[in-house]
Amino acid sequence: MTQSEFVNPENLFEDDDEDDSGAHEPVGLPSKSFDMSLPDMTQMSTISWANLLRKMNAEINSIGYAQVPTITASRRFDLDGPFSLVPADFDPTKNKKRSLLIGCNYSTHGDDSYGAEIKASHDDVRSVKDFIVNVHGFPETRGLMTVLLDDGDHQAPTHKNITEAFKALSEQSQPGDAVFVQFVGHGGRILDSIINSNGDENPYDELLVPSDYSDSGYIRDTLIFKTLLAPMRKGVSITMLIDCCDTGMVMDLPYSWSTKDDKPESKVRVIDSTICRW
């Protein structure tokens, strides 16, 4: 990895705590015991999008972190509407639920000279897997659920494997399908150009850090867009949960909302991200 990508690897893995800027066989992933009960999980399936982000914000603040939950979207939608991973018009006789779960602990990276190891990423993937299976009915069968973990038992979340999984999802998904993608690991930003000659208010590319980052580099938001979102057929509903520091406006989708400066009594709405950014 060269320094030409405008990233200092020595501080890439420092937490941004002070920054408040935002064949069909079961997949072999053991379940993790939830801290919340199934009724609590079911309640989460009826919460509004806005209140879900507010709950996330409260949880983050309660453990001493300052990251701000942000939602971005390709279209306007009602943030006070019920949170769901499956569209209301989903037809189980025609459509499929597909998922891609990615967790990077970086524990097999070697000397870990940059302090990259994260101990809870695999547990987070197991928790979310339980949630989408038990609450939203996502199947665990191969071909419909893909799990990438750097635990030695699963396919590793390398740069190649992640991008190939993105491509496979976009190729296989059909109109009406519901797609869920989770990434847990390190994230960051790369200066897109040394001189911002276009006057862009956001001259950075957001990035995800695969398990083999020192050999293969990072996964930029532009690559995610090109391999996963742009080729996706019209009519596919896709939800992505990006759980990492400093991803900001990942994928630069046109609409967004953040809990920064949010007041629970105020009416929430997604805004045009090309006009205002958090």
Q: Does 154 participate in catalysis according to the annotation? A: no
Q: Which residue has the higher pLDDT, 260 or 202?
A: 260
At 196, the pLDDT band (50, 70, 90 cuts) reads low
Residue 37, pLDDT above cutoff 50? no
Q: What is the pLDDT of residues 204-245, one digit of tens each?
A: 788 999 999 999 999 998 899 999 999 999 999 999 999 987
> CA–CA separation, 71 vs 22, rounded Å?
9
Question: Could you report the per-residue pLDDT of 55-73, keeping only the tens digit for each?
Answer: 999 998 998 888 888 888 8
Residues whose CB is less than 8 angstroms from the CB of residue 220 and which lie 6 or more positions away in sequence, other chains included: 190, 205, 206, 207
Full DSSP string of 170-203: HHH--TT-EEEEEEES-EEEEES-SS-TT--S--
So what's the pLDDT on residue 15? 46
Q: Residue 12: pLDDT above 70?
A: no
Q: Which residues contact 159 (CB under 8 A, 6 or more apart)?
A: 210, 212, 213, 216, 217, 218, 219
Closest CA to 253 of 44, 115, 90, 232: 232
**Mean pLDDT computed over 1-19:** 42
Return the pLDDT at 68. Answer: 86
Question: What integer pLDDT is reported at residue 189 of this predicted model?
Answer: 83
Average pLDDT, the chain: 79
Q: Which of 109, 154, 159, 245 is catalytic?
A: 245
Residue 114's pLDDT band (cuts 50, 70, 90): low
Q: Is the pLDDT of residue 21 over 70?
A: no
Contact between 76 and 271 under an 8 Å Cβ cutoff? The reply is no
- Active-site annotation holds for 104: no
CA–CA gap between residue 209 and residue 247 (Å, rounded): 11
7 has a pLDDT exceeding 70: no
- Report whether pLDDT(46) > 90: no
> Per the residue annotation, which of 104, 186, 244, 276 is the catalytic one?
186
Which tens digits make up the pLDDT trace of 244-276?
Answer: 876 555 667 888 888 888 876 667 776 664 433
Q: Tell me which residue has tokens 């993790």.
A: 32
Instruction: Give which of 147, 163, 138, 160 is closest to 221, Cα–Cα.
Output: 163
